[in-house]
């Protein structure tokens, strides 16, 4: 075994994954594509990011190195913490289509200063068959009517909704809406 492979296996072991775990992912369990170490790939800046979890390109995050991990070169999901995840600016960019809660989330007309609209999907379990946690996050202009609409959507779809106002940008709100089908734990659990 080469030294680099040994070090990667040791890191995977430290993350709670079985020793030689990367060998278990020579093929992606989601789409059967080839799985490689994300550190072996470069971000192609001439194209949209293949997975914002790996290559965020956020101006405020440029100084922070993105985490690596095994990544599929066909569907672009990355394996971390026992799950497969992908983030994209496009709702139709996922191997497993987004569920209705996130895919139909009310998004206002986008304005140049509003920033990016980010969709994220985490397929649970090493095989990705344990369900999906999905979210949408973005900046928007937050009228009372729009806030009521997204609260209604979140309630109807059983989503967790966070709305954060920015004190230096009146009228702007940051929205994170998450759909997690797993039973919620209480303090008594």
pTM of the model: 0.79
62 or 84, which is more confident = 84
pLDDT band at 27 (very low <50, low <70, confident <90, very high): very high
pLDDT of residue 24: 55
pLDDT band at 128 (very low <50, low <70, confident <90, very high): very high
123 or 4, which is more confident = 123
Q: Is 175 exposed, middle or buried (0-12, 13-18, 19+ CB in 10 A)?
A: buried
Segment holding 10, helix H or strand E: helix 3-14
**pLDDT tens string 90-112:** 999 999 999 999 999 999 876 55
Secondary structure of 68-111 as H, E, C letters: CCEEECCCCCEEECCEEEEEECCCCCCCCCCCHHHHCCCCCCCC
pLDDT of residue 39: 83
144 or 115, which is more confident = 144
**pLDDT tens string 35-50:** 998 888 887 888 888 8
Residues with Cβ within 8 Å of 113's Cβ and at least 6 positions away in sequence, in order, are none
């Amino acid at each position: 075994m080469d030294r680099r492979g040994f070090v990667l296996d040791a890191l995977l072991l430290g993350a709670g994954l079985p020793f030689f775990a990367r060998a278990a992912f020579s093929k992606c369990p989601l789409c059967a594509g080839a799985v490689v170490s994300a550190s072996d790939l470069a971000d192609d800046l001439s194209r949209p990011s293949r997975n914002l979890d790996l290559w965020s390109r956020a101006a405020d995050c440029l100084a922070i190195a993105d985490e690596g991990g095994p990544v599929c070169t066909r569907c672009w999901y990355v394996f971390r913490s026992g799950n497969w995840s992908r983030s994209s600016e496009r709702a139709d960019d996922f191997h497993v289509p987004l569920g209705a809660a996130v895919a139909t989330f009310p998004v206002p007309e986008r304005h140049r200063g509003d920033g990016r609209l980010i969709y994220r999907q985490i397929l649970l379990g090493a095989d990705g068959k344990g369900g999906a946690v999905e979210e949408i996050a973005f900046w928007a202009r937050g009228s009372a009517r729009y806030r009521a609409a997204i609260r209604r959507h979140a309630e109807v779809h059983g989503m967790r909704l966070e709305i954060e106002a920015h004190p230096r940008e009146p009228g702007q709100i940051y929205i994170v809406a998450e759909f997690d089908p797993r039973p919620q734990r209480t303090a008594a659990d």
